[in-house]
A and B are shown apart, each in its own frame.
Chain A
Amino acid sequence: MSQSACRPEPEPFVDRREPCAERNPQRNLYFGDLHVHTSYSFDAWINDVRTDPAGAYRFARGEEVAGLKLARPLDFAAVTDHSEYLAEVEGCTTPGSAVYDSPRCTDFRAGSAAALVSFGLGLDGDDAMRWGDLCGDGALDCPARIGAVWARVQEAAEAAYDRSAACEFTSFVAYEWSGSRMLSNLHRNVIFRSSRVPDLPVSHFEAPTAGELWQRLLGDCRDSLPGCEVLAIPHNSNWSNGNLFTPEIPAGGDETELAEVRADLEPLLEIYQHKGDSECSPGVAGLGPPDELCDFEKLRALPFDDCGDGTGSQGMVGRGCVSRLDFLRGILLAGLGAEQRLGVNPFRLGVIAGTDTHNGTPGNVEEASYPGHFGKRESDPVTRLTGNVPAGARNGPGGLTAVWAEENSREALWDALRRREVYGTSGPRMAVRVFAGWDLADDLCDSGDFVGAAEAAGGVPMGATLPDRTGDDGPVIAVSAQMDPGSEGAPGSLLERIQVIKGWQDAQGVGQITVVDVAGGPDGSTVDEATCSADQRGSPLLCGLWRDPEFDPERPAFYYVRVVEDPVCRWSWRDCLTIAEDARPPACSDPTIPRTLQERAWTSPVWYSPGA
C-alpha cells in the first residue's frame, strides 16, 4: 500500500476562523494565481520592482497597486518569492546593514544585467552555497534575517486572508524552492494548507535536490508540526531538458519509496505561465501524433535536438535538447510506465497555470495589457519585444488556476488542489467541468442539470481515478464548458472546441496518445491583423461526451481535456501595432512568433488504473 494511502486525512480546519456562510456540496469555481514574485525575490527587486507581498495581495483583491489594477479580482493567491536570497536581498537593500556597502550589494542595487546573472548563476548546481561575503562571519546573520522576512511573508498572507463568514479571498503562505542543475530548471512552488508553517522556508542551498526538499517538507512540516500540511508544485518543465521528471535515485535509495513520496507531495504540475507552455510540443517524439494545437506559446522554436531517452542542460538559457519529459503528455505517459513497473505512479499530476509575475501583480493575464515579465526591463513595447531575459517576445502574460471547491477557504481550496479537482487556463476564466464514469447517460449533454446527473450516475471529477469498472464498455468522459463571460470593457471569447486527450500504454508498453474533438470544431473565426478586431463564430456553451472505443482494461490510461477559444491577437502583435511600421523590432516579422493565439484551458486528467 502506498504511503499516501496510509496517510491520515488532514484535519478539516486547522486555522481558527468563522465558517463560510456558503458551502456548496456541488462545488463553486474559484480563480487564482499560485505563482507570484514580489520585491522580496532577488530577480524582481533588481528590476526595480518594489511591490511587496502585502501589495501583491492587495492587487489580487482588486486594489490599484503601482498604477495597475485587475478588471476582476482574484479569489485566491499565493506569493511565492524565491526562498533563496531572502536574507541577502534584505541585507543588500537595508541601509546600515553589515553588507550594505559590500561590492556585491552595490552591484545588486545598481541593477546591472551582470548582477542578475551572478545571482542567478549562484543558485545553480548541487554545490551552490550562500555567499560568504553576505552570510559569512562578520556579515549578515542570514538565518535570523530569513526568519524575519518569512514572518513578514506570513503576516502579509494573514492580513489578506478573509477569515470572516463572507469568505471573499484566500491567501496561502508559500515560497518557491529554486533549484537548478547545469541551468536545467527544477523549480517548485511550496504551498502550505494553513498558517501552521515551519520557522524557515527550505532553499536550494540547504536542500540541493528535490529529494532533500521533500524530506525537509516532511520533517519540518508534516511530521513535526501538528496541523502543518504542504504540497510542492513543479513548473517550467519546458526549461528542464528532461531533468525535472527524470527520477533521481540517490545511492542506496529505494525507487518505489521515492515514487511514493513524490506522488504524495507533488500532485500537480504548473504547465503554463509567463515562460511558456508545457503541455506538448512539435519536434519531440513520444507526445502523440501531429497536433497543430501543440504549437502554442512555445519558449523554444524548432530546430532543436530531441533528448530521446537522455537529458540535457542549459534549458534556462534556451539551449540544450528538449525532452518528452518536458511536457505534460510525456510525463503522464512516463507515470503510467512507472506504475506498471513499481506499482505506484509518481506522476499522477493534476494541471494548473499561473503567471510567475515578477511585478507583484498576480492574475494580470490580459493579452491587451501585458506589462512584461521583469519590471522596468520590459516596461515598454520595444523592450518587451527585444528582451531576452528570460525569452523576450516568446514570454506571455501567463495564466490562472481554476479550483472546484465547496467554499473559498484555505482548507477547501488546498484540499481541492490535493485531489486535483483543478485546471489551468492561459488567462481566460472559462468554466470547465469534467466527469468520468462507466454509467454516465448518453444524453447527459442534451439538456438538464449536467452536474447533478453526472454525480448521480457515479461520475468522478477531474483529478480522480475511475472507480471499479462496471459493464463491458470503456469509460465515458463528459465535459461541459462555458465561455469566459468577460468583464466591463473586456468581453470574453467564444469557445471553438472541446478535446479529450487520452494517453495509454499499448501491449508492448509503448506510450500512445490520441486527441479527439468531442464538441465544436474549427468554426471559421478570423482576426483582422490590421486592427486586432476578431470575428468569432464559436459557442458560449459546449458540452461533449465521449466513450473510449478502444479501451483495454488491462492497461492503465489517463484522459484530460483541452478547451480552446476562438482566436484573438497575441500581446506581442498588439505591441507591434503601437510602433511605426519602419521602427518595429525583428520580433514583429519573426514567423515563429505568432500574431494571434487561441487561449485555452487544460484540465487535470482522470486516470484508469487496472489495480485501483
Chain B
Amino acid sequence: MTWRALLREPLVQFLVLGLALFALHARVRPDPDANMRVDLARVEAARQGLGARLGHAPADAELAAALREALDDERMVREAVRLGLDRDDPIVRRRLIQKLRLAYESSADLDPADDAALLAQRDAEPQRYTAPARLALTQILAARGRHAEPEAAAREFARALEAGADPAGLGDPGPHARRLGLRPVADYAGMFGPEFAAALEGMPEGTWSIVQSKIGAHAVRVDARAPAELLPLAAARARLQADLAERRRAEAVRLALEDLRRADPADLRELPPDLAAALREHGL
C-alpha cells in the first residue's frame, strides 16, 4: 500500500485528525498562570503602551494602575468562571463555540484533492455541478396599463406573428432585446418574473403562446432548447476544490463533535424510557 493510499484509509485519517486536534489543543490552550504573571517584558510593554497613550513616560503610580487594571480583569474573569457566570451568558457561549469550531476546522487537511477525488465529489452531487437546461425565445409584450386587455392584445400579436408579421414592429417598447439566446429558465424569472418562467416549462417550440406576468401578457415563441449538462472536470475544478475543502472542514467539526458526544452524553434519566430510547436512536 502506498503512503497516498494509506492516507486515504478512514482509520488513518481518524488517527491523524486526532493527533492534529491534540496538537492544536496544546497550542491554543492558554497558560493558566500567564495572565497573573508580571515579568519585566510585561512591565515594559505596559510602559510603552501607556507612554503612547498619555504622551509622556508614565509615573510608577500610573504604571501600577494600568497593570492593576489588567490583573483585576483577570481576577474578575477567574472569579466569574468559578461562579459559573460564563455558563448562562449567550455572548460568552457563542464566542467559545465559535473559537472551538474554528480550531476544529483548522485541523482539517486542506491539501488540493486529486482528480479522482474531484470527480467523485462531482458525481456524488451531479446537480450542483451541472449547467442548467437553457432555452432561447422571442417575446413580444402587451404591458398592463398600455392596453385595456393585455391578454387580448398579446393574442392579437400572436395571430399577426403566425401570419408572418415582423416581431420588430409589434408590441410595447420594453428595455430587453426581443430575441434572447439560450439562457437558463432562472434568467427569464429574473427578467419577467417567476410566473413567466414557470410557464416556459413544457412550452412547445416554434409556435406562439401567451404567457402572463406581472408586467403584462407576452406572446412567446420558444426558438430552441438545450439540455442540462454535467460540467467537465476542467470547468468545475476550482469550485470542486473549494467545496471539498469546505466539506473537509465540516467533516473535521463533525468528527470532533462525535468525540464530544461520546465523552459528554446527554442525561436522559428523567425522560420516559421509550422517548429516551427514540431520541437516543436518532443521536443526541
The answer to whether A and B come from one shared complex is: yes
Chain B 210-266 interface residues, beta-carbon cutoff 8 Å to A: 213-216, 226, 229, 231-232, 235-236, 238-239, 241-243, 246
Chain B residue at minimal CB-CB distance from A31: B190
- Is there a chain A Cβ closer than 8 Å to B193's Cβ? yes
- Is there a chain B Cβ closer than 8 Å to A29's Cβ? yes
Docked pose: A103 CA to B73 CA in angstroms: 14
| B169 surroundings in chain A (CB, below 8 A) | 447-449
| B49 surroundings in chain A (CB, below 8 A) | 103
- Is there a chain B Cβ closer than 8 Å to A54's Cβ? yes
Given the known A-B contacts A431-B176, A448-B173, are A54 and B181 also in contact in the complex, defined by CB atoms under 8 Å?
no
- Is there a chain A Cβ closer than 8 Å to B196's Cβ? yes
| B183 surroundings in chain A (CB, below 8 A) | 22, 28
> Is the beta-carbon distance between A432 and B175 smaller than 8 angstroms?
yes
> Is the beta-carbon distance between B214 and A54 smaller than 8 angstroms?
no
Which of A156-164, A183-191, A226-234, A506-514 touches B? A156-164
Docked pose: A491 CA to B193 CA in angstroms: 9
> Is the beta-carbon distance between B190 and A24 smaller than 8 angstroms?
no
Cross-interface CB contact of A539 among B143, B170, B181, B182, cutoff 8 Å: B143
> Is the beta-carbon distance between A447 and B171 smaller than 8 angstroms?
yes
Chain A residue at minimal CB-CB distance from B177: A26
Chain A 438-457 interface residues, beta-carbon cutoff 8 Å to B: 444-453
> Is the beta-carbon distance between A164 and B131 smaller than 8 angstroms?
yes
Chain A 539-569 interface residues, beta-carbon cutoff 8 Å to B: 539-541, 543
> Is the beta-carbon distance between B176 and A451 smaller than 8 angstroms?
yes
> Is the beta-carbon distance between B146 and A95 smaller than 8 angstroms?
no
- Is there a chain A Cβ closer than 8 Å to B178's Cβ? yes
Docked pose: A505 CA to B189 CA in angstroms: 43
Docked pose: A159 CA to B189 CA in angstroms: 25
Docked pose: A539 CA to B215 CA in angstroms: 8
Docked pose: A447 CA to B146 CA in angstroms: 10
Cross-interface CB contact of B177 among A27, A73, A481, cutoff 8 Å: A27
Cross-interface CB contact of B170 among A18, A50, A165, A447, cutoff 8 Å: A447
- Is there a chain B Cβ closer than 8 Å to A473's Cβ? no
Given the known A-B contacts A103-B45, A159-B241, A540-B143, are A451 and B177 also in contact in the complex, defined by CB atoms under 8 Å?
yes
- Is there a chain B Cβ closer than 8 Å to A485's Cβ? yes
Chain A residue at minimal CB-CB distance from B102: A50
| B176 surroundings in chain A (CB, below 8 A) | 29, 431, 433, 451, 482
CB distance from A293 to the nearest CB of B (A): 21
Docked pose: A122 CA to B229 CA in angstroms: 51
Docked pose: A28 CA to B169 CA in angstroms: 21
Cross-interface CB contact of A540 among B168, B215, B246, cutoff 8 Å: B215
> Is the beta-carbon distance between A482 and B235 smaller than 8 angstroms?
no
Given the known A-B contacts A431-B176, A482-B175, A539-B145, are A24 and B181 also in contact in the complex, defined by CB atoms under 8 Å?
yes
> Is the beta-carbon distance between B146 and A541 smaller than 8 angstroms?
yes
CB distance from B218 to the nearest CB of A (A): 11
**Interface secondary structure of B, over-half rule:** mixed
Given the known A-B contacts A22-B134, A54-B246, are A492 and B191 also in contact in the complex, defined by CB atoms under 8 Å?
no
- Is there a chain B Cβ closer than 8 Å to A612's Cβ? no
A interface residues, how many (CB within 8 angstroms): 58
Chain A residue at minimal CB-CB distance from B103: A95
Residue of A21, A31, A445 contacting most chain B CB atoms (<10 Å): A21
Docked pose: A491 CA to B195 CA in angstroms: 11
> Is the beta-carbon distance between A96 and B174 smaller than 8 angstroms?
no
CB distance from A498 to the nearest CB of B (A): 11
Chain B 32-86 interface residues, beta-carbon cutoff 8 Å to A: 45, 49
- Is there a chain A Cβ closer than 8 Å to B123's Cβ? no
Docked pose: A83 CA to B144 CA in angstroms: 48
Chain A residue at minimal CB-CB distance from B193: A485
| A156 surroundings in chain B (CB, below 8 A) | 242
Docked pose: A450 CA to B172 CA in angstroms: 8
| A48 surroundings in chain B (CB, below 8 A) | 98
Interface string of B187-210 (1 = CB under 8 A from A): 101111110100000000000000
> Is the beta-carbon distance between A448 and B171 smaller than 8 angstroms?
yes
- Is there a chain A Cβ closer than 8 Å to B141's Cβ? yes
Chain B 154-178 interface residues, beta-carbon cutoff 8 Å to A: 167-178
- Is there a chain B Cβ closer than 8 Å to A155's Cβ? yes
Cross-interface CB contact of B175 among A72, A166, A450, cutoff 8 Å: A450
| B178 surroundings in chain A (CB, below 8 A) | 449, 451-452
Docked pose: A54 CA to B239 CA in angstroms: 10
Cross-interface CB contact of B226 among A21, A168, A429, cutoff 8 Å: A21
Interface string of A1-42 (1 = CB under 8 A from B): 000000000000000001001111011110100000000000
Docked pose: A431 CA to B132 CA in angstroms: 24
> Is the beta-carbon distance between A486 and B193 smaller than 8 angstroms?
yes
Cross-interface CB contact of A166 among B28, B131, B174, B216, cutoff 8 Å: B131
CB distance from B124 to the nearest CB of A (A): 17
- Is there a chain B Cβ closer than 8 Å to A487's Cβ? yes
Given the known A-B contacts A27-B177, A485-B213, are A164 and B236 also in contact in the complex, defined by CB atoms under 8 Å?
yes
Interface string of A487-500 (1 = CB under 8 A from B): 11001100000000
Cross-interface CB contact of A18 among B184, B235, B243, cutoff 8 Å: B235
Docked pose: A433 CA to B184 CA in angstroms: 22
> Is the beta-carbon distance between B215 and A488 smaller than 8 angstroms?
no
- Is there a chain B Cβ closer than 8 Å to A364's Cβ? no
CB distance from B280 to the nearest CB of A (A): 28
Chain A residue at minimal CB-CB distance from B34: A101
Interface string of B80-116 (1 = CB under 8 A from A): 0000000000000000001000110000000000000
> Is the beta-carbon distance between B242 and A429 smaller than 8 angstroms?
no
| A22 surroundings in chain B (CB, below 8 A) | 134, 136, 181-183
- Is there a chain B Cβ closer than 8 Å to A240's Cβ? no
Chain B residue at minimal CB-CB distance from A159: B242
> Is the beta-carbon distance between B184 and A168 smaller than 8 angstroms?
yes
- Is there a chain B Cβ closer than 8 Å to A436's Cβ? no
> Is the beta-carbon distance between A485 and B175 smaller than 8 angstroms?
no
- Is there a chain A Cβ closer than 8 Å to B180's Cβ? yes
Chain A residue at minimal CB-CB distance from B140: A449
- Is there a chain B Cβ closer than 8 Å to A241's Cβ? no
Docked pose: A168 CA to B184 CA in angstroms: 8
Docked pose: A154 CA to B109 CA in angstroms: 20
CB distance from A554 to the nearest CB of B (A): 33
CB distance from A247 to the nearest CB of B (A): 36
> Is the beta-carbon distance between A429 and B175 smaller than 8 angstroms?
no
Chain A 289-328 interface residues, beta-carbon cutoff 8 Å to B: none
Cross-interface CB contact of A448 among B131, B170, B215, B232, cutoff 8 Å: B170
CB distance from B188 to the nearest CB of A (A): 10
Docked pose: A166 CA to B213 CA in angstroms: 26
Chain A residue at minimal CB-CB distance from B48: A133
Cross-interface CB contact of B214 among A95, A431, A483, cutoff 8 Å: A483
> Is the beta-carbon distance between B184 and A166 smaller than 8 angstroms?
yes
> Is the beta-carbon distance between A446 and B193 smaller than 8 angstroms?
no
Chain A residue at minimal CB-CB distance from B128: A63
> Is the beta-carbon distance between A449 and B214 smaller than 8 angstroms?
no
> Is the beta-carbon distance between B134 and A21 smaller than 8 angstroms?
yes
Docked pose: A362 CA to B246 CA in angstroms: 20
| A164 surroundings in chain B (CB, below 8 A) | 131, 231-232, 235-236
Q: B-side interface residues toward A, CB under 8 Å?
A: 27-28, 45, 49, 98, 102-103, 131-132, 134, 136, 141, 143-146, 167-184, 186-187, 189-194, 196, 213-216, 226, 229, 231-232, 235-236, 238-239, 241-243, 246
**What are 23 A-B pairs with beta-carbon distances under 8 A?**
A22-B183, A29-B175, A29-B191, A95-B27, A96-B27, A156-B242, A159-B239, A164-B236, A166-B229, A433-B176, A444-B173, A447-B169, A448-B170, A449-B167, A449-B168, A450-B174, A451-B176, A485-B190, A485-B194, A485-B196, A487-B193, A540-B144, A540-B145
Closest 4 CB pairs of A and B: A485-B193, A166-B131, A450-B173, A159-B242
In addition to A103-B45, A486-B194, A543-B173, 16 A-B residue pairs with Cβ atoms within 8 Å of each other are A18-B235, A22-B136, A23-B181, A26-B179, A50-B102, A54-B242, A95-B27, A96-B27, A155-B242, A165-B131, A166-B231, A447-B169, A447-B172, A482-B174, A492-B193, A541-B216
